C-alpha cells in the first residue's frame, strides 16, 4: 500500500466492520489489518491458485476465495506475470515501457465471477474494500454494485493512463464512485509510472 493504512486510520478515524481485499497475492497486508479487526472478518480474493494455496499455508484460518472477478460472468484469459503482482485479465499497456523487467510468462482460461455472488456467502458486514487487480478495479466494483451503498471506504490501485490495455482511468472511478457517495480524498502516485493508489471515503 503506497498510503500506509495506519495513517488513514488515524486521519479519518476509520472503524472497520469487515474488510474485502480483492487481489490478495500473498496477503501481505494481513498484519496491518489484524491490528484493527479479527481474521474472521476479512475476506481475501485471489485469481492465482498457487497464491491461494500459499496464503492458506502461511495464515491458517484465513477466509480466501480463488476467483478472477469482473463485472459479468465471462470466459477470459488470465495472464500470469513473472513477478506475480502484475498478473491481470488485461494485456500490458504502458506497463511494458515503464517496467520492462516485468512480462507475462503464461496464461490460463478462467471463468470470471462477480463479487456480489461471492460475498453473499459470508456473514461479514463489509465496509472497507481494498482493490489491487491491475486495471480491472472498476469492473470488480460494478460486479458488486448493489452492495456499494454499504461501503464506507475504498482503497484501490488507480491509473492516469493505459498502464494496462483498456484499464479504467482514475476519472472514471471518481465519477462512478461519486454516484454512491464515495469521494476520493487521498492519491499517491508511484513516481512517473502513471499508476498509484487512491482512497475514497463516504461523505
Q: Average pLDDT, whole number, for the chain?
A: 97
Closest CA to 155 of 192, 196, 122: 196
The pLDDT value recorded for residue 199 is: 98
Instruction: Give the DSSP per-residue string, 31-83.
Output: HHHTTTS-GGGEEEEES-HHHHHHHHHHSTT-EEEE--B-SS--EEEEEEETT
**What is 5-202's CATH number, 3.90.700.10, 3.40.50.150, 1.10.3720.10, 3.40.50.720?**
3.40.50.150
Domain ranges of the chain: 5-202
Torsion of CA 88, 93, 98, 99, to 10 degrees: 40
Instruction: Read off the pLDDT of each residue in 18-27 and give the average, rounded to a whole number.
Output: 98
pTM for the full model?
0.96
What tens digit of pLDDT does each residue of 158-183 get?
999 999 999 999 999 999 999 999 99
CA distance from start to end of the chain: 23
> In the chain, pLDDT over 90 holds for what percent of residues?
99
What tens digit of pLDDT does each residue of 51-93 get?
999 999 999 999 999 999 999 999 999 999 999 899 999 999 9
Amino acid at each position: 500500500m503506497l498510503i500506509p493504512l495506519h495513517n488513514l486510520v488515524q486521519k479519518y478515524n476509520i472503524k472497520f466492520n469487515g474488510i474485502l481485499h480483492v487481489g490478495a497475492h500473498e496477503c501481505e497486508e494481513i498484519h496491518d489489518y489484524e491490528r484493527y479487526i479479527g481474521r474472521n472478518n476479512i475476506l481475501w480474493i485471489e485469481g492465482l491458485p498457487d497464491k491461494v494455496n500459499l496464503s492458506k499455508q502461511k495464515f491458517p484460518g484465513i477466509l480466501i476465495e480463488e476467483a478472477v472477478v469482473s463485472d459479468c460472468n465471462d470466459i477470459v484469459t488470465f495472464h500470469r506475470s513473472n513477478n506475480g503482482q502484475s498478473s491481470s485479465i488485461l494485456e500490458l499497456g504502458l506497463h511494458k515501457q515503464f517496467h520492462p523487467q516485468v512480462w507475462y510468462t503464461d496464461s490460463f482460461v478462467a471463468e470470471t465471477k462477480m463479487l456480489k455472488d461471492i460475498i453473499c456467502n459470508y456473514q461479514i458486514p463489509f465496509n472497507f474494500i481494498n482493490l489491487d487487480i491491475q486495471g480491472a478495479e472498476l469492473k470488480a466494483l460494478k460486479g458488486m454494485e448493489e452492495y456499494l451503498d454499504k461501503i464506507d471506504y475504498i482503497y484501490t490501485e488507480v491509473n492516469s493512463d493505459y498502464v494496462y490495455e483498456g484499464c479504467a482511468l482514475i476519472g472514471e472511478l471518481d465519477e462512478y464512485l461519486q454516484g454512491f457517495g464515495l469521494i476520493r480524498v487521498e492519491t499517491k502516485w508511484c513516481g512517473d509510472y502513471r499508476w498509484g493508489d487512491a482512497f475514497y471515503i463516504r461523505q
